[in-house]
């Protein structure tokens, strides 16, 4: 809340009210206090706050992105907004397993991969140390994406996915 207030110029109390009104408009929820609301409503409100922050490019003043609660699908938001899941810097989308040298990233079936958003520094570290070390050290796992997300991230087009389904065997097997 303080990050939002700092960025927008609202006080933290004003920012909380703005975000509550946004949440109530999105969900139809009645006005509530965090002190006595249900766990379900509180979790929904926190998720809406984080979505608002990512959607409106509010800069996080956290030292580590892992300060965001674990229950939130952080990896998906980082992929969507191309923000490093480790440090919050601008990121590229990293394939797991790696797309090796000589493979054309524009002609692989991305349904066969898992992904994470990593800045150049963390991407290089991931390749230098290896995926098992990287996952254990940072306590993260790449995620598999559904077809809609693959298309929305421009990793494959619907036409490409149909072509792969019709018989092309391009890409890597991951499980």
- In tens, the pLDDT along 5-27 reads 888 888 989 989 999 999 999 99
CA 88 distance to own-chain centroid: 11
pLDDT at 71 over 50: no
- In tens, the pLDDT along 81-133 reads 898 988 888 999 988 877 765 566 667 888 888 889 999 999 999 989 988 99
As given in the structure block, the two tokens for residue 107 are 């002609």
For residue 60, the number of C-alpha atoms closer than 13 Å in the C-beta half-sphere is 23
Q: Do the beta carbons of residue 115 and residue 126 sit within 8 Å? A: no
Q: What is the pLDDT of residue 23?
A: 92
Q: Do the beta carbons of residue 84 and residue 90 sit within 8 Å? A: yes
Q: What is the pLDDT of residue 28?
A: 92
Peptide bond into 120 cis (omega under 30): no
pTM, rounded to two decimals: 0.57
């Amino acid at each position: 809340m303080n990050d939002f207030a700092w960025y927008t110029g609202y006080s933290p109390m004003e920012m909380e009210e703005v975000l509550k009104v946004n949440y109530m408009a999105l969900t139809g929820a009645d006005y509530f206090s965090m002190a006595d609301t249900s766990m379900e409503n509180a979790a929904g409100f926190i998720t809406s706050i984080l979505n608002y922050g990512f959607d409106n490019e509010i800069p996080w003043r956290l030292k580590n992105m892992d300060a965001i609660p674990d229950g939130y699908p952080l990896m998906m938001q980082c992929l969507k907004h191309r923000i490093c899941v480790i440090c919050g810097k601008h990121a590229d989308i990293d394939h797991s397993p790696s797309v090796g040298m000589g493979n054309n990233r524009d002609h692989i079936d991305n349904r066969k991969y898992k992904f994470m958003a990593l800045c150049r520094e963390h991407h290089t570290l991931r390749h230098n140390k290896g995926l098992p070390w990287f996952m254990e050290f940072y306590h993260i796992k790449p995620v598999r994406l559904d077809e809609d997300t693959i298309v929305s991230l421009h990793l494959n087009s619907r036409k490409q996915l149909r072509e792969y389904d019709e018989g092309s065997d391009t890409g890597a097997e991951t499980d």
